[in-house]
Structure 1
Amino acid sequence: MSRERIGTDFVRRPGSAWEVLADLVRVAGFASVVAAAIGWGPTDVAVLFLAASAALVLRMLGLRGGVDALTGAVILVAAWSGVLDLYAAIAWWDVAIHVVCTGVIVVVGMLVLARTGVVAHPSAESTPSFVAIALATTLGLALSALWEIVEWLGHNLVDEAIFVDYDDTIGDIVAGGAGAVLAGLLVATVRLERVSPDEDRAR
């Protein structure tokens, strides 16, 4: 991932309605930080700031507008779900968010690894689909386990209200793994990045 490409993608003007929507999600993210500062506590502000920052970073990655908007929206919904206690209020919400949120994060992670040369691009003809799926699943399980460690640390060091339970932990990791498998199928079969100017000229 060249610095020139990152800079170009970050400062470019939106080229489609989807890209405008993705930028509106970013605006909503930072508006959420302000809202949390007014109506909630510092922990909630920190969570929403991380979500808003993640949505901003997405602009640097050159994702297609729809993928960018969906990913930013999913991360923002996941953050607000914690602030509004939806995980406790809706029995199935936690599992659904773990599936979807892990999936979109794995998609982004796979593309970052490919563009930095760590792995072959998952959509390349030379990359078998099962390799992309296996790598995505491994990445998703690792990220899910890391998230559960963060929750455990948060429960013990920050706020005991953060729910930690063995069955919940295992269930969340399984849900994250399922989302990662779906992410692997997606990155192996669908182009998720914008066409760069160099690629466009080469056509």
Structure 2
Amino acid sequence: MLPLIPADLLRALGLVLIPAAWAVAGWPSAAVMLLVFGAQWLTRWLVPGSALDWGAQAVLLAAGWFSVTGLYHRVEALDLVMHAAASAAVVGLVAVAARARLRRRGEDPGALVRRLGPVLSAAALTGAGVGLGVLWELAEWWGHTVVTAEIGVGYDDTIGDLAADLFGAGAGAALAVRGQLRAAGSAR
């Protein structure tokens, strides 16, 4: 059994919000919160108790709950803000996973960033974040088409979401690369 850590309080909230979402808005909303809950456990596996764990969980919980309550339809640009924030958090998690993978292979992540350069490294992370954003938009379209028309899609929504994903992923990538370069510099 995993020892409890303070950040597990947000995971407990995520668990409670699954049936709450069902009660508020039906099973598709409960499925969204179940997806959020799964992502919360991914943060525990990758970065337990860190600022990224807390921050990513908070962003994902807010994004899911705003969807459940229909807040995106009532607050202009909230969807874009949340797409940017979620993309930044996801890119942070991708960077952590990539760093762990490199270390398992016996490679130095800092050396790789220095060899590729910070711009190319950030571009790769940004591309990963935007790629995941594209998959999310495809899932939204599928949900709108197959599950319920209440899931908002459309050309303007999709393009706006992807632009926000690009902005957030770029910001997250810049922070991740800067952090890796700092860590590599202090390790010397």
Normalising by structure 1, we get a TM-score of 0.78
- Looking at structure 2, the residues matched to 42 and 23 of structure 1 have their Cα atoms a distance apart, in angstroms, of 24
Aligned in 2, Cα 1:36/1:64: closer, same or farther, shift over 3 Å? closer
Q: Which residue of 2 aligns with 1:75?
A: 60
Q: Which amino acid aligns with 1:181?
A: G
The question of 1:153 aligning with 2:142 is answered yes
- Deviation at residue 69 of structure 1 after TM alignment: 0.7
User: May I ask how many residue pairs the two structures share in their alignment?
Assistant: 175
Gaps of 5+ in 2: 181-188
Q: Counterparts in 2 of 1:1-203, with a 5 A limit?
A: 11-12=2-3, 14=5, 20=6, 22-63=7-48, 65-117=50-102, 124-127=110-113, 128-190=117-179
- Looking at structure 2, the residues matched to 32 and 25 of structure 1 have their Cα atoms a distance apart, in angstroms, of 10
Q: Which residue of 2 aligns with 1:4?
A: none
Normalising by structure 2, we get a TM-score of 0.84
Gaps of 5+ in 1: 1-9, 15-19, 192-203
Q: Is the 2:24–2:69 contact (alpha carbons within 8 Å) kept by the matching residues of 1?
A: no
Q: Is the 1:115–1:121 contact (alpha carbons within 8 Å) kept by the matching residues of 2?
A: no
- Give RMSD over aligned pairs: 2.1
**Secondary structure of the structure 2 residue equivalent to 1:163:** coil
Which contiguous aligned blocks of 4+ residues in structure 1 show a shift greater than 6 angstroms?
118-121
- Deviation at residue 138 of structure 1 after TM alignment: 0.7
Q: Is the 2:22–2:28 contact (alpha carbons within 8 Å) kept by the matching residues of 1?
A: no
Q: Is the 1:36–1:45 contact (alpha carbons within 8 Å) kept by the matching residues of 2?
A: yes
- Deviation at residue 52 of structure 1 after TM alignment: 1.1
